[in-house]
A = this chain, B = another copy of it.
Amino acid sequence: MPELLSQAEENYLKAIYKVSRRDGTPVSNNAISVEMQTSAASVTDMINRLSQKGLLNYQKRRGVSLTEEGYATATHLVRKHRLWETFLVDKLQFSWDEVHELAEQLEHIQSRELVNRLDEYLGFPRYDPHGDPIPDAEGLMAERQQVALSQLPVGQLAVVVGVKDHTTPFLQYLERTGLLLGVQLRVSERLDYDNSLQLVLDQGTTLLVSQKVGQNLFVQLK
């Protein structure tokens, strides 16, 4: 069943997986071409090939969705990506803002056995260094009920569990301000002027963050 895919094909599957998680159902050619940074013509081309291979449901001009097999393949790619990121951070001491590009390469290595042994070696982690859940060998992953920090009611105690924005500048901002995974906090005040948030962290330190930061940090209620 698991056909051998090129890296390009795998990258398209991941992109489709990613945008369909956001929106829900059929994905437009346009959304894919934006995500992939490639022309609409190339997307049409690849869509044809992938639906030919049974990985996508596709009707001309009606958008695409992942088939069962396409979904499983994409999930496995996500599993590999997140396990490699965990490896790089936990074992090789990379910082969480350096590992994405590397994992983009490593996720294309073909070997179920390798992935499973890596998983075991890392102690079957359920979340990667950015707080994203890692699918297990069957493709199942933990679902956490989390909300954006910006949605958190004033006074409510919560803990930082993930990021929405995975870019280096944002991760480095968090590093510098100490707003890392596992940190407990409360919003002490929401400033109407620019929707910035006044936070009280663990040890009582306070921090003022912009709306943008609030929208890109996930927290879990305590």
| A residues neighboring B (CB under 8 Å) | 88, 91-94, 102, 105-106, 109-111, 114, 117-118, 121
Shortest distance in angstroms between A51's beta carbon and chain B's nearest beta carbon? 27
Residue of B with least CB distance to A108? B105
In the complex, which residues of chain B have a beta carbon less than 8 angstroms from the beta carbon of A102?
109, 111, 114
Which of B91, B93, B106, B118 is within 8 Å of A109, CB to CB? B106
Residue of B with least CB distance to A94? B117
Q: How many copies does the complex hold?
A: 2
Shortest distance in angstroms between A138's beta carbon and chain B's nearest beta carbon? 21
Which of B109, B110, B114 is within 8 Å of A92, CB to CB? B114
Shortest distance in angstroms between A120's beta carbon and chain B's nearest beta carbon? 8
Shortest distance in angstroms between A8's beta carbon and chain B's nearest beta carbon? 13
Contact status B105-A92, CB under 8 Å: no
